[in-house]
Amino acid sequence: DTALYSGWDVATEETKVATTAPPPPPREIYRTDYAPLPFVVKNVRMNFDIRDGKTIVESELTIVPNVGVNVGDLILDGEADALTLLSISLDGIDLIEGIDYAIDGDALTLYSKTLLLPGDGASGGGDAGRKLKTRVEIVPETNTQLSGLYKSGKMYCTQCEAMGVRIEADADLYPILLGNGNKVDGGTVGGSEGKRHYATWSDPFPKPSYLFCIVAGNLGSVSSSYTTRPSGRVVHLEVFSEPENVSKLDHALTSLKKSMMWDEDTYGLEYDLDVYNIVAVSDFNMGAMENKGLNVFNTALTLADPKSATDSDYERIESVVGHEYFHNWTGNRVTCRDWFQLTLKEGLTVYRDQEFSGDMMNSHAVKRIEDVNALRARQFPEDAGPMSHPIRPESYISMDNFYTSTVYSKGAEVIRMYRTLLGKDGFRKGMDLYFKRHDGSAVTCDDFLSAMADANNADLAQFGLWYSTSGTPTVKYVTKYDESAKTFYLTLSQESNSAKPLHIPVAVGLLDKVSGEEVVPTKVLELKEKEQTFEFSGLDGNVLPSVLRGFSAPVKLVGSSVDEENDWAFLAANDSDGFNRWESGQKLYTSLIFQTMRGVQSESKTMEHVFNAFQRTLTLGTDDYSIQAYGLILPTESSMAEELDIVDPVSLHKARGDVKKLIARKFHSSIRAKYDELTSAMKSSGDEIKLDATSIGQRRLRNVLLDYLCSLKETAEEREAASKLAMNQFQTSCGMTDRYAALSCLVSMEGEQSVVDRRDEALQNFYHDAQGDALVIDKWFTVQAMADLPDALEKVKALVKHPDFTLTNPNRCRSLISVFSGNAAHFHADGGEGYKFLGEIIAKTDKLNPQLSSRIGGALIRWKRYSNERGSLMKMELQKLAEMKPISNDLFEVVSRGLK
């Protein structure tokens, strides 16, 4: 089929070619330039001969003309400075450079005349195909980009966003050899060079090259089996890590089983191979990768025990294991035609993992609050800045830069809107048709939309605009009640970057304005025009609308009521929609924080609303502790910043802190009482760390309360009390969640010697207790990078010199550097020292790992939204980077977009 695209790495390693020519300037690739390849690779066989300092990769590609496509050359993408071509032959005959093929920079071009046999052509021909064999030499040991075959610790593994593979390596050092699919052969290799062995893996499912993977290492594992219910296939499940971490693999294994069961129950989708392997590696650029039958995971998203992982870590591991598993159908069996379609698999798979987590947590409201929080804190800013792009981008220089929260999280919101518009059954019908039509092929977002539309006889043409529209749309609403006609009018209007109006599902419910009772339950209004009025008749009295329930569309909602705050207060108290109840409270908090920031808060009405909402939430007699906790947390600085034209991070941070203190002071005794009540409830249920929703909720709530209590540190007395309380929780808790939360409070404490001593002692103990556990040490760096202290930057600079710090490990680098750039008040402190520090780190990192440097670089590109002073200092750092030579394509793209 036409699954291949010139944008694919047809094969990653074997096509890398050495050259001395200067690097060509970065090329921008456009979606509209898509063309099917003139040839198809029917089969790939690879042999990896792994030796210290030198790995030989042999590959044999079976190439046939792509029927119906114009004749043309075949271009294989490689990486010129990463590999040496040793030989290249076609059907056993060596090819000659300049006559049969050409090498130019990273491209190896095989002329069409070389590959075509007489009689071949656009109309078809030699079905058996021709065998192209290449041998190349690579050095995984020096590959710091962590892309292609590289070495992480003592293990070799791949990340190839590149059907049979044979791996050969030293048997003692690398006893485990893994590839995609099923293992079909293995054994020892005779010879004089010591003990070597090999394994041959074969994947019967055709796949794009990016799902290819091998691993060689000395690994420990846990294993189990799962029997699929539709057809009773017994699948061997195994999760691998370095031997010292095997005790932390059970959660991932359990999560895998839950995912397999969930996909059968929810979508009738069953696993299709006899084995499913997951390997955890410590050096990994992202979270995890869904390679067919052989997932590779960042250790941070695999390893967990209660002593080293927080509740959020547990949650994330379960959701990412689910995510990669769900890719087997949405990504692997049905894959993307080209990289512009990335959201086809990522948006859909994120939506699937969100629903899975909501089911596992038994609370979709909590999950929704978390997901919308993340969307607002990360995707909204991205979409309002220079890297803004539609969920299906139109062009890129480095595709790695487009694994974004827009493609992922907003992409998931778009899938959720299909579900909202078509209903649960309608959505399922669409999914069924999608798999029926496209199993085994490489398709586009349009194909997904057509399947949804056709299965439901729905017209989704207008809905398709979501794929090509960047930026966050705004929806405004205006209300009117006609007393005599007992009719309520809700007028919705929209504004977006799309020339034509979008198709927006707006879920609405109506509450009686007096009693707060719900008089009209949730209804999905379809906003399809620029402005539209919806009528609700037969009402008994005036009503208050609860608009955009469950956050039914990724938009900013703007009301027009003269007394908005009264409405929010009313909804915060009465709304039956859990999400909107929370949302209304957040709006009240935001309002008070903004007033505080502008210096207009004095005995205001807003304060009263906030106090009422806080008190009501604090005294709720519920055992839904997580909902309670989220209702008490103030909105994050990054999500509030999105509502401001020009952001002053220092005063925003101060205002948020002041409101926190105001609340803490006002409710000090009830917060403390609730804290103590939870402490004894938790004590009475024993020392064991339980991971059920109630236990997680109790910890979450208690830690929110601790944070309020520790915000009071005006006087020496208060500082003494706060640091003692946090220290006590730190010392008496055995789980990471509570210890980490206590440490987070302690790191921001200063003043009297006794207070400073407590802080430093806790940090030392935490480090010491980590006993070298890399993921815990990451947390030790993170917690300090987030500290709210006047010398925050100096502390971070000192930590860069700590023997445990390195730029070569992405987790470690992010744990200090990216986290600090998110510590807005200190990163943006006057003088621009934070920017300079970051600029220097980015420059160093770019030499090692471009994917990492361009990610970190994202913190500098939104200079336009800060004051001129800050903006020009940020821009200066961007300019320095832009002029740096050499610069990676990844960083070049981010920096040059940032300067536009």
- Cβ nearer to ligand ARG, comparing 242 with 400: 400
CB of 322 to ligand ARG, least distance (A): 11
* Smaller CB separation from Zn ion, 409 or 546: 409
Task: Compose the 408-427 pattern: x for residues touching Zn ion by CB under 5 A, - for all others.
Answer: --------------------
Please state the closest distance from residue 400 (CB atom) to ligand ARG, in A.
Answer: 4
CB of residue 452 to ligand ARG, shortest distance in Å: 22
Give the nearer residue to ligand ARG in terms of CB position, either 288 or 412.
288
Q: Minimal distance in Å, beta carbon 153 to Zn ion?
A: 25
How does DSSP classify residue 80? G
Q: Is 491 exposed, middle or buried (0-12, 13-18, 19+ CB in 10 A)?
A: middle
Minimum Å gap between C-beta 342 and ligand ARG is 8
* Catalytic annotation present for 324: yes
Mutual orientation of helices 578-597 and 625-632 as an angle, nearest 10°?
A: 20
- For residue 383, the partner it binds in ligand ARG, Zn ion, none, with Cβ less than 5 to 8 A by kind, is none
Which of Zn ion, ligand ARG, none sits in contact with 289, Cβ below 5 to 8 A by type?
A: ligand ARG
Closest CB 349 distance from Zn ion, rounded Å = 5
Closest CA to 323 of 302, 289, 349, 286: 349
Long-range interactions of 686-691: CB distance < 8 A, separation 24+: 687/734, 689/306, 689/734, 689/735, 689/737, 691/306, 691/311, 691/314
Residue 325 or residue 675: which is nearer to Zn ion going by CB?
Answer: 325
Task: Write phi, then psi, for 239 (nearest 5 degrees).
Answer: -115, 125
Residue 862: CB minimum distance to ligand ARG, A: 21
Q: How far is the CB of 286 from ligand ARG (least distance, A)?
A: 4
Indicate the burial class of 669 (C-beta count within 10 angstroms; 0-12, 13-18, 19 or more): exposed
DSSP designation for 577: -
Q: Residue 334 has which token pair?
A: 């049905």
Q: Considering CB distances under 5 to 8 angstroms, the limit depending on partner class, which of Zn ion, ligand ARG, none binds residue 161?
A: ligand ARG
Secondary structure element (H or E) that encloses residue 416, with its range? helix 411-438
Amino acid identity, position 857: G
**Which CB atom, from 47 or from 854, has the smaller least distance to ligand ARG?**
854
Residue pair 787/748 in contact (Cβ under 8 Å)? The answer is: yes
Q: Is the Cβ–Cβ distance between 9 and 85 less than 8 Å?
A: no
Of 181, 283, 213, 275, the C-alpha closest to 242 is 283
287 versus 751: smaller Cβ distance to Zn ion: 287
Judged by beta carbon distances under 5 to 8 A according to partner kind, the member of ligand ARG, Zn ion, none in contact with residue 846 is: none
Residue 507: name the closest of 545, 479, 457, 540 by CA.
545
Which of 343, 420 has the CB closer to ligand ARG?
Answer: 343
Q: Quick check: 207 and 234 in contact, CB under 8 A?
A: no
Residue of closest CB approach to ligand ARG = 403
The residues in 317-376 that bind Zn ion, with binding defined as CB under 5 A, are 346, 349
Pick from Zn ion, ligand ARG, none: which does 275 bind, CB < 5 to 8 A by kind? none
Q: How distant, in Å, are the alpha carbons of 170, 173, 191, 279, 877 from that of 195? A: 6, 10, 8, 24, 53
Q: Which is nearer to Zn ion, 347 or 509 (CB)?
A: 347
Name the residue among 49, 39, 42, 38 with its Cα closest to residue 13. 49
Distance CA 783, CA 250 (A): 27
**Which of 192, 178, 175, 168 shows the shortest CA–CA distance to 238?**
178
589 binds, among Zn ion, ligand ARG, none (CB under 5 to 8 A by kind): none
CA 890 from chain centre, in angstroms, equals 18
Nearer to ligand ARG, 575 or 893 (CB): 893
Q: Are 275 and 183 in contact (CB under 8 A)?
A: yes
User: Which of Zn ion, ligand ARG, none binds 288 (CB below 5-8 Å, type-dependent)?
Assistant: ligand ARG
Helix (H, G, I), strand (E, B) or coil at 443: strand
Going by their DSSP bridges, the two strands 164-170 and 39-51 should be labelled as parallel
400 binds, among ligand ARG, Zn ion, none (CB under 5 to 8 A by kind): ligand ARG
Taking CA atoms, 141 is separated from 53, 63, 107, 240, 804, in Å, by: 6, 31, 24, 21, 21
| Closest distance of CB 407 from Zn ion, Å | 10
For residue 860, give both structure tokens. 């500098």
Decide whether 302 or 782 has the Cβ nearer to Zn ion.
Answer: 302
Task: Give the span between the Cα atoms of 840 and 859, in whole angstroms.
Answer: 13
Residue 753 CB coordination number (10 Å): 7
* Contact residues for 707 (Cβ-Cβ < 8 A; gap 6+): 660, 741, 744, 745
Binding site for ligand ARG (CB under 6 A): 161, 286, 288-290, 323-324, 346, 400, 403
Number of residues that bind Zn ion (CB under 5 A): 2
Three-class SS of residue 480? strand
In the complex, least distance from residue 296 CB atom to Zn ion, rounded to whole angstroms: 12
Q: At what angle do helices 668-684 and 693-711 cross, to 10 degrees?
A: 150
Partner whose binding site includes residue 203, from Zn ion, ligand ARG, none (CB under 5 to 8 Å by kind)? none
As measured in angstroms, the least distance from the Cβ of 438 to Zn ion is 18
Pair of tokens at residue 572? 């915060």
CA distance 468 to 455: 23
Catalytic residue among 14, 242, 318, 324: 324
CB-nearer residue toward ligand ARG: 213 or 572: 213
Where in the sequence numbering do the catalytic residues fall? 324
Binding site for Zn ion (CB under 5 A): 346, 349
